[in-house]
Homo-oligomer: A and B are copies of this chain.
Amino acid sequence: MKYDKEINGLKNWIVAEEDFCQEYLGKFESIMYQGNGYLGIRACTEETYPGEVRNTFISGTYNKFHPSEVTELPNAADVIGIDIYINGKKMNLMEGNFKNYSRYLNLKNGELVRNFIWLGPSGEEVEFTFKRLVSLANYHLVAQEVLIKPLSKPVQLKLKSGINGQMTNSGVQHFFEGEKRLYDGKYLNFIQTTIESNIHFVINSTHSFFKNNEYYEPESIILMDRRKIFFEFNDKIEVGQELVLNKLSTFHTSRDKELEKLSLKEIILESLKELREESKKRYNQLLMESEEKWEKEVWSQGPIEILSTDGFDQLAIRFAQYHLRIMTPFHDNRMSVGAKGLSGEGYKGHVFWDTEIFILPYYIYTYPDKARLLLEYRYFTLDGARKKAKENGYEGAMYPWESAWKDDGEVTPVWGAADIVTGEATKIWSGFIEQHISADISYAIWQYYQITGDEDFLIKYGYEMLFEIAKFWASRVEWNEEKGRYEIKGVIGPDEYKEHVDNNAFTNYMAKFAISIAIDCYNSLREKVDQKVFDELNEKIKIDDWIEKWIDVQRKIYLPKPNENLVIPQDDTYLQKEVIDLTKYKNQQQVGSIFRDYNLAQVNQIQVTKQADVIILLYLLEHYFSKDVKKANWDYYEPKTLHDSSLSLSTHCIIANDLGEKELAYQLFKKAAQIDLGPNMKSSDHGIHAASIGGIWQCVVNGFGGVRIIDGKLRIQPSLPENWSKLKFVIYYQGDKLSIEITKDKVMIEKLTNRNREIEILNNQQFYLLKDKLVLKI
């Protein structure tokens, strides 16, 4: 891993690898993956290696292989792979026969470049350069450029390149094979259709060759194999010549919003037309077009500047912004972000609370119109949530722990890793009882509304979701007659190492929060907003029938209070469980190392926490808790938290910073950033950690930058790490764009939009008014 590579004057924009190592393919395939929210392609090499995972995903195209398995994003046909033979020898790097190797991902324009000199068995020296992009200018387009230059002697070249539909998801084939065809002697066309959801994928590829910058056609033959269509090209290259191949490929599916109504035949024609158009351009022009979009959509709209003694910090936030962009399906509000983005098979492309709690804040503050689309996704799946509630004997909307397409409902797999004691697969309970997701969605809607003021969203989608979620919680709580309170029994909180617990603090507090919001909305909708909206909603989902119950539950729901040591019990029994020495399992490269010694039933009996649980409650509902309580719980829970989920470190970073533990907070930030960008070469094999990448941004803006919404008010109270001299970023607030520049001793807030209004800003428990510019001392 190289973090300080400079390309064309770009510094802290480049993630680079300086040596080839076949054992760490997965790491780079994931962190250097490319995409645009529609399409995601792992950074596999053109040549193949054992252990590679060659994935191409298209957002939202879920398919279920068999009724006994859960739906997942299917791995589409591969267009990246190219077999290259030099004088009959298949080029690969495992034999160590290369020099001057480098590969890098340019975060600024999303281009992946690989360059090396290959040393052949007969003294051949051939320089290879591979360039690749997944276009942000045309979501359907993948462009590759391959440059081959013999340095020592002329070489006979053979290339096999085309479309390879033999790909699977770790052995699961989601497609049946459709037609494969060559059009106009030039355009390879391959159809594959998902076996259960019946989505057609239309994939095209075309090749153009240039020598000495002149277009030419080498000897070629079209070949087909099972689920494969490809060309074999044969050519001789002289020393001094450079062969340039431009391979352009397009992906379209019958699930695409704009193609939904077309027949397969029409989609094929449409896609071929598009490829014909695009293939009039050369690779560099396509790169330029995509680069412009990156600049316009991402970097100029949400620039973040970190002046640190360690350039890695600036790189880390750009890495986060790059990945946040490519993982998010902005083109279609029927989709949301998978826990691994589009970077790997991990979590099957399913959507978790990761989106609302860890990723959404970035969009709410930086691209509020995009944030709205992600929340609309939850409206799209509302009927599924209603169905899940009904199936479980509840009312309203019970959101699935893992979510996929509209009707899929709950898609959490039921069986997981081996139980080391019984030898059987462990049952995964999250899909049944990890219920806080429904409150998390209310929280996110409310956060979105508070920051954007988007009343239209509430009316069209938000109110209905908030009310349905409140109904769920009101039907979910159980009345404890003896104690005169409502309780929530038998759940899993964020800490998944504790199953079937009663009154998980996080769940109870968040459930109450969700109900409170619903009550507030009920009142304001009824009294202030719009009687018509209220009447329509009431007609549709009968909120009048629920308001009394909500108020009752809100008043009487049990919230675990800090004990005599100010510690909030994570649940009813946590504090009574055994305390063991966790040193062996903390700070392990390998997450879940405790399961090498204990099975889940045993871990359930120990005071050990997988990930921020009480701690994230202290963050999300921070104004509910005093600083003393925060400190006491930090001291109690941090040592017991293994951070065996990537959702944990960023929250701990923010809380540490809040508590004045600046050095520790900075370390935790680094660790969070290093989950993917760090030296652990195995942690990203199944894909990047989407929530953790959202967390990097949260550490920077919500943590060090101190930007929060407290009780509906914008608070800005920064506290930079020691070695940061400046942090500058923009946020949107209630329709205004603010630039925030933080240095050691002051924060300068500037309103970039020209609307004549003042914004209240909370700092050090005082309110200040921002008109055009505001400078606060730190």
Contact = CB atoms under 8 A, between A and B. Distances in A.
Interface of A: 23, 47-52, 65-66, 68-69, 89-90, 92, 94-96, 165-168, 170-173, 176-177, 179-183, 185, 195, 221-227, 229, 416-418, 420, 423-425, 596
Given A96-B96, A166-B171, A418-B223, A51 B48 contact: yes
A195 B185 CA distance: 38
B23 A90 contact: yes
B423 A185 contact: yes
Given A94-B92, A221-B596, A423-B222, A418 B171 contact: no
A417 B223 contact: yes
A69 B177 contact: yes
Nearest to A66: B176
Given A66-B195, A95-B96, A171-B166, A424 B176 contact: no
Contacts of A170: 166, 225-227
Contacts of A167: 171
A66 B195 CA distance: 8
A212 to B, nearest CB: 28
Nearest to A189: B423
B171 A172 contact: no
A619 to B, nearest CB: 33
B50 A423 contact: no
Contacts of A424: 181-182
A354 B772 CA distance: 87
Given A168-B168, A170-B227, A177 B68 contact: yes
A418 B94 contact: no
B176 A173 contact: no
Contact of A418 (B52, B173, B229, B420): B229
B221 A420 contact: yes
A225 B413 CA distance: 13
B68 A176 contact: yes
Contacts of A229: 418
Contacts of A96: 95-96
A168 B226 CA distance: 12
Contacts of A420: 221-222
B423 A181 contact: yes
Contact of A423 (B65, B182, B425): B182
Nearest to A424: B181
Closest 10 interchain pairs by CB? A182-B423, A166-B171, A94-B94, A66-B176, A224-B418, A173-B173, A48-B50, A222-B418, A170-B226, A166-B170
Given A51-B48, A179-B425, A424-B181, A171 B222 contact: no
Contacts of A68: 176-177
A176 B171 CA distance: 10
Contacts of A89: 23
A423 B92 CA distance: 31
Contacts of A168: 166, 168, 171, 173
A221 B592 CA distance: 13
A52 B225 CA distance: 16
A731 B108 CA distance: 77
Contacts of A52: 50
Contacts of A50: 47-50, 52, 92
Given A166-B171, A171-B165, A425 B227 contact: no
Q: Which of the listed residues A89, A92, A423, A425 has the most CB atoms from chain B within 10 Å of its own CB?
A: A423
Contacts of A171: 165-168, 173, 226-227
Contact of A182 (B92, B176, B222, B418): B418
Given A50-B50, A65-B176, A69-B176, 14 more contacts: A23-B90, A50-B92, A66-B195, A94-B94, A94-B95, A95-B96, A96-B96, A166-B168, A167-B171, A170-B227, A171-B226, A173-B173, A182-B423, A224-B416
A176 B221 CA distance: 37
A251 to B, nearest CB: 18
Contacts of A165: 171
A89 B171 CA distance: 26
A636 B420 CA distance: 72
Q: Which of the listed residues A167, A179, A416, A425 has the most CB atoms from chain B within 10 Å of its own CB?
A: A425
A644 to B, nearest CB: 16
A195 B66 CA distance: 8
Contacts of A221: 420, 596
Contacts of A90: 23
A262 to B, nearest CB: 21
A90 B48 CA distance: 17
Q: Which of the listed residues A90, A176, A418, A596 has the most CB atoms from chain B within 10 Å of its own CB?
A: A418
Q: Which of the listed residues A48, A171, A225, A596 has the most CB atoms from chain B within 10 Å of its own CB?
A: A171
5 contacts: A66-B195, A95-B96, A170-B226, A179-B425, A221-B420
A305 B652 CA distance: 79
Contact of A224 (B51, B177, B224, B417): B417
Q: Which of the listed residues A183, A222, A223 has the most CB atoms from chain B within 10 Å of its own CB?
A: A222
Contacts of A66: 176, 195
B180 A425 contact: yes
A369 to B, nearest CB: 38
A17 B502 CA distance: 65
